[in-house]
Structure 1
Amino acid sequence: MSQKNEQWGSRWGFIMAAVGMAIGTGNIWRFPRVAAQNGGGPFIIAWTIALFVWAIPLLMGEMVMGRKTGLGTIGAFRDFAGKKYTWMGTWVAVVCLGIMFYYSVVMGWCIKYFTLAISGTFKPGMDTVATEAIWDTFTTTPSQTILFHFIAMIIAGLIIYRGVTKGIEKASKIMIPTLFILLVLAAIRAITLPGAAQGLEYLFNPDLSMLTDHNIWIQAFTQAAWSTGAGWGFIITYAVYTKQKEDIGGNCLIMGFGDHLGALVAGMTVLPAIFALSSTQQFAEEAMAQGNTGITFVYLSQLFTEMPLGNLIAAIFFGAMALAALSSLLPMIEVGVRNLMDMGIERKKATIYIAVAGFILGVPSAYSLHFMDNQDWVWSIGLLVSGLFVAFALIKFGLEKVRKEVINLEGADFKIGKWWSVFVGLFPVFFVVITGWWLYQSTTWYPDTWWHPFEKESFGTVIFQFTIVIAAALALNNWLANKVGKGRDITKGITKVK
């Protein structure tokens, strides 16, 4: 099969790959902590609303762009928004690859901890001092962190090398059901522990008065944007391989709900385990305040040692983490590969180029947690900019035209109403509020050096790195627009629905 004609073998295969794209480590280690710290039940309500207001509309928009143009992010923006906006597609690709460089490091951590669990490292009686020492020793040993980063890139690269049907689709059909099974097994064990009910109460706290807290809404939209893959360019890329009559609305709703379900099951694993096995509520709350890496690799590692068959449960949990990371790493690589293929480079060569670049440019994050945290901060905000650019392209093309003539195809399982056009039209407002809040927060963290380009999470480092990427993308705009091959005729194959 030629690179221009690659296609998903089935709708099920595409959905599994897309759900895998959405479910990543952010669902497993970030969602439980953020939900617990922001009211539990009220946060879940706000997060579900954000799913419909931001994430699902954006996923639909990305699927429209990829399917209509038949090109990766660079070509999709060229053909859908106009040649002079090609640079926006370059931005989307660069942000996605920027995350890929350190995300493979995170997958390497999960693989490492899976091996620690199956080798019996987590022994009964260990305290958090001991598990923190394991974490500190590992993350300050570059030979180990770089090795497992390399292993992660090799695994993901080999799958992408095999192509869409034999690689991504085949792997996703195995990985995603396995991931859900592992999460459900871990959740069942966690909620059957004595004292687990307190964790469930924390997660599903019914105090709806907390919905008046603006911070809960900001955090809910941020989580929805991060975890679903909306704005990453994933679905623009995956949609290239879909059939022309594929149901856009139905598929994107399934992706969104699949992501939600994965996060809720993870929450029902992590929070009950923390509360059931913590000696005091203060210890549990201290665990949740430790950030993503602390709660996962320090506190949960210690808590697993207090369970019967703790190493087995730890192996299941970290195995699920590794699968979740892999299912999200695959589309990150594919975004880069697809763009190179659009420029005439065949898949196998393109995969080697992206995988090698991913390994080399990921080494700084493997070497330094400080550098990695900086990249996570910068490109997380970059994702919101990517979402804004997708919304701009859709608005420019015509939101109602897209909804009526592209999304609501004849025979579609779900007909999407005007709410889609309204919410996409409001994206600039959402962007200003969420991004403005994030950047304002950074000025309070560094009141005297908020402008400094080399502070870990400053306003200055965001502007500095954004400026470099945008300047380069603008400078290369016309060259890239001409380099990318011809896509589909976006004026053809449209079915109007009255």
Structure 2
Amino acid sequence: MQNREEFSSRLGLILAAMGMAVGAGNIWRFPRMVAQNGGSAFLIPWLIFLFLWSIPLLMVEFAMGKTARMGVIGAFAKFMGKKFAWMGAFVGFCTMGIMFYYSVVTGWSLHYFIMASTGQLSHLEPGVYWNHFTGSFQPLFYHLIAISIAAWIILQGVTHGIERANKILIPSLFVLVVIASIRAVTLPGSVEGLNYLFNPDFKKLIDFRVWLEALSQSAWSTGAGWGLILTYGVYLKKDEDVTLNSFVTGLGNNSASLFAALAIIPTVFAILPLSSALDAMKSGNTGLTFIWIPKLFEKMPAGGFFASLFFLALTFAALSSLISMVELATRIFMDMGFSRKRAIRIVWIVAFLLGIPSALSLKFFNNQDWAWGVGLLVSGFFFSLAVIKFGASKFREKWLNSGDSDIRVGKWFEYVIRYLIPIEFTAMLVWWFYQSVTSYDPKGWWNPFHTYSLGTCLFQWGVVLAFFIGINKWLVKWTLEREDT
């Protein structure tokens, strides 16, 4: 067995966990969801689902990683039995599928930070430049830089790589978004945005779509059920708490989202007329971030400086999440007997190669974001199944309420895992598939080669699941049987 790596301190662990959770979605998706779903009324179900989906799954992941001392494949095989190693493999592949294109997002953010900080962005028409940039080979170059930076950090190990990087990235990120939010709320006219953000439209709460959007945002934003926290859980000290760390991670992630909303929504409403502001908030993740945001900063005093801060914060958020994805993939290969150095070399090459299509084609990028983003909901459901099969009561008493726990977990956890999460998963899956069939691609919903179709999800998931189920016995052989060698 390889020498056991550990986080050197609770602070390092929490910052790494928050780095995993706080990503581009906090900055470019959350403000849009708030603006489109009733302002602060959206915050109510969003906060509820933090406790009824995200934090319970974070607790499950931390406990599984800490107990199994293996990545997703080995952990699922240990908790559910050897016949279910394929579930862990699917969880791992979902997250790696996101890693391949998320490196591209990190590269975009880095490029725009460079353009903003050198003053070049202010002289360009944002929409035209975005189309020019994404239609060139530049995203491929920045994708290579992003995945190389993440791989180099992972190569340094847990303490000197992951922990040290997040001790820089996460405090810096919070400082940047706080500065940006202070600037936003002091802009003339920002009160319109603040009213929109903090005066709730309670009528929205009777709309089931608001609740489903809030649940989806919480599930995606916190990274719960992705296998990332499980991977970091492998490096917990034996006496490290699970429950309190999960609560701090979830609440820290939500705090970052709120600051991002404070930075963006008042700015949009201060500078644009109401109709244009609402159009901006409906323009999609990339549309808001890389087209509307540069337009807004052009009209602000010292706009170039604040544009630089914004894109630097986005780069830090994306990089901290990318690091955790690369570590998940690296941990899988390390469980198979590879050294960290050799494992990261494999992950770096594969991630770069499989990220090339997303770097060169927005259509392919959007397809992968759709297929594996929705696939992550399946991953979260698999974690609840793992606990149910192990025994929710036994799991709670043995792994959450052990002697090293700072907080005792009540029976509510068992009800959430056994009943609520399966119901929430079903509701979200039906909702997103319904959206695909009725709104995204009503004529080609069955076509596996369409970008946002139901067919593309089922086809890609089916291929991956069939493959991993087919090689399940080898997955067990490559992981569990090597553990003590």
Same topology, TM > 0.5: yes
- In the TM superposition, what whole-angstrom CA distance separates every residue of 1:40-91 from its partner, at most 9, and x where no partner exists? 1111010000100000000101111111110000000111110000000000
1:76 and 1:487 map into 2 onto residues whose CA distance is 14
2:80 and 2:3 map into 1 onto residues whose CA distance is 22
Q: Indicate conservation of the 8 Å contact 1:20/1:324, yes or no.
A: yes
* 2:297 equivalent among 299, 304, 327: 304
* Displacement after TM superposition at 1:410 (Å): 2.1
* Displacement after TM superposition at 1:209 (Å): 2.9
Matches within 5 A, 1:211-250: 211-250=205-244
Matches within 5 A, 1:128-207: 130-141=125-136, 143-207=137-201
Match of 2:356 in 1: 363
Match of 1:495 in 2: none
* Displacement after TM superposition at 1:197 (Å): 1.2
1:179 and 1:218 map into 2 onto residues whose CA distance is 28
What amino acid sits opposite 1:449 in the alignment?
Answer: G
Query: Quick one: structure 1 residues 153 and 479, their matched pair in 2 at CA, closer, same or farther if it must change by over 3 Å?
Result: same
Match of 1:451 in 2: 446
- In the TM superposition, what whole-angstrom CA distance separates every residue of 1:79-119 from its partner, at most 9, and x where no partner exists? 11100000000001100100000000000000000001011
Match of 1:471 in 2: 466
Per the alignment, in what secondary structure is the counterpart of residue 74 of structure 1? helix
Structure 1: gaps spanning 5 or more residues: 490-498
* Displacement after TM superposition at 1:207 (Å): 2.5
Match of 2:36 in 1: 37
Q: Indicate conservation of the 8 Å contact 2:240/2:404, yes or no.
A: no
Structure 2: gaps spanning 5 or more residues: none
- In the TM superposition, what whole-angstrom CA distance separates every residue of 1:114-153 from its partner, at most 9, and x where no partner exists? 00101102338x7xxx110111110111x20100101101
2:443 and 2:204 map into 1 onto residues whose CA distance is 33
Matches within 5 A, 1:281-320: 281-320=274-313
What amino acid sits opposite 2:447 in the alignment?
Answer: H
1:324 and 1:3 map into 2 onto residues whose CA distance is 31
1:431 and 1:411 map into 2 onto residues whose CA distance is 31
1:41 and 1:227 map into 2 onto residues whose CA distance is 17
Does 2:269 correspond to 1:272?
no
1:476 and 1:428 map into 2 onto residues whose CA distance is 27
Q: Indicate conservation of the 8 Å contact 2:336/2:482, yes or no.
A: no
* Displacement after TM superposition at 1:485 (Å): 3.8
1:136 and 1:289 map into 2 onto residues whose CA distance is 19
Per the alignment, in what secondary structure is the counterpart of residue 121 of structure 2? coil
Match of 1:59 in 2: 58
Structure 1 segments, 4+ long, off by >6 Å, are none
Cα root mean square deviation, aligned: 1.3
* Displacement after TM superposition at 1:415 (Å): 1.4
Q: Indicate conservation of the 8 Å contact 2:335/2:483, yes or no.
A: no
Query: Please, which moves more after superposition, 166-175 or 437-446?
Result: 437-446
Match of 2:436 in 1: 442
* Displacement after TM superposition at 1:240 (Å): 0.3
Match of 1:327 in 2: 320
Match of 2:417 in 1: 424
> What is the TM-score of this pair, normalised by structure 1?
0.95
Identical-pair percentage: 48
Match of 2:383 in 1: 390
1:123 and 1:448 map into 2 onto residues whose CA distance is 41
* Displacement after TM superposition at 1:392 (Å): 0.4
* Displacement after TM superposition at 1:407 (Å): 0.4
What amino acid sits opposite 1:34 in the alignment?
Answer: M
Match of 2:67 in 1: 68
Query: Please, which moves more after superposition, 234-243 or 439-448?
Result: 439-448
Match of 1:9 in 2: 8
Match of 1:496 in 2: none
Match of 2:47 in 1: 48
* 2:407 equivalent among 414, 422, 430: 414
Does 2:256 correspond to 1:257?
no
1:234 and 1:354 map into 2 onto residues whose CA distance is 15
Q: Indicate conservation of the 8 Å contact 1:70/1:487, yes or no.
A: no
What amino acid sits opposite 2:400 in the alignment?
Answer: I
* Displacement after TM superposition at 1:4 (Å): 3.8
2:195 and 2:467 map into 1 onto residues whose CA distance is 50
Match of 2:367 in 1: 374
- In the TM superposition, what whole-angstrom CA distance separates every residue of 1:138-184 from its partner, at most 9, and x where no partner exists? 0111x201001011011101000111001000001111000000110
1:119 and 1:448 map into 2 onto residues whose CA distance is 46
1:229 and 1:488 map into 2 onto residues whose CA distance is 27
1:204 and 1:386 map into 2 onto residues whose CA distance is 33
Query: Quick one: structure 1 residues 322 and 3, their matched pair in 2 at CA, closer, same or farther if it must change by over 3 Å?
Result: farther
1:430 and 1:192 map into 2 onto residues whose CA distance is 39
2:218 and 2:66 map into 1 onto residues whose CA distance is 23
What amino acid sits opposite 2:36 in the alignment?
Answer: Q
2:442 and 2:17 map into 1 onto residues whose CA distance is 41
* Displacement after TM superposition at 1:447 (Å): 2.4
Q: Indicate conservation of the 8 Å contact 2:219/2:377, yes or no.
A: yes
> What is the TM-score of this pair, normalised by structure 2?
0.97
What amino acid sits opposite 1:319 in the alignment?
Answer: L
* Displacement after TM superposition at 1:400 (Å): 1.1
2:482 and 2:172 map into 1 onto residues whose CA distance is 36
Match of 2:101 in 1: 102
Q: Indicate conservation of the 8 Å contact 1:53/1:423, yes or no.
A: yes
Q: Give aligned pairs, total.
A: 482
Per the alignment, in what secondary structure is the counterpart of residue 123 of structure 1? helix
- In the TM superposition, what whole-angstrom CA distance separates every residue of 1:447-497 from its partner, at most 9, and x where no partner exists? 2321100111001001100110000110110001011145989xxxxxxxx
Does 2:71 correspond to 1:89?
no
What amino acid sits opposite 1:118 in the alignment?
Answer: S
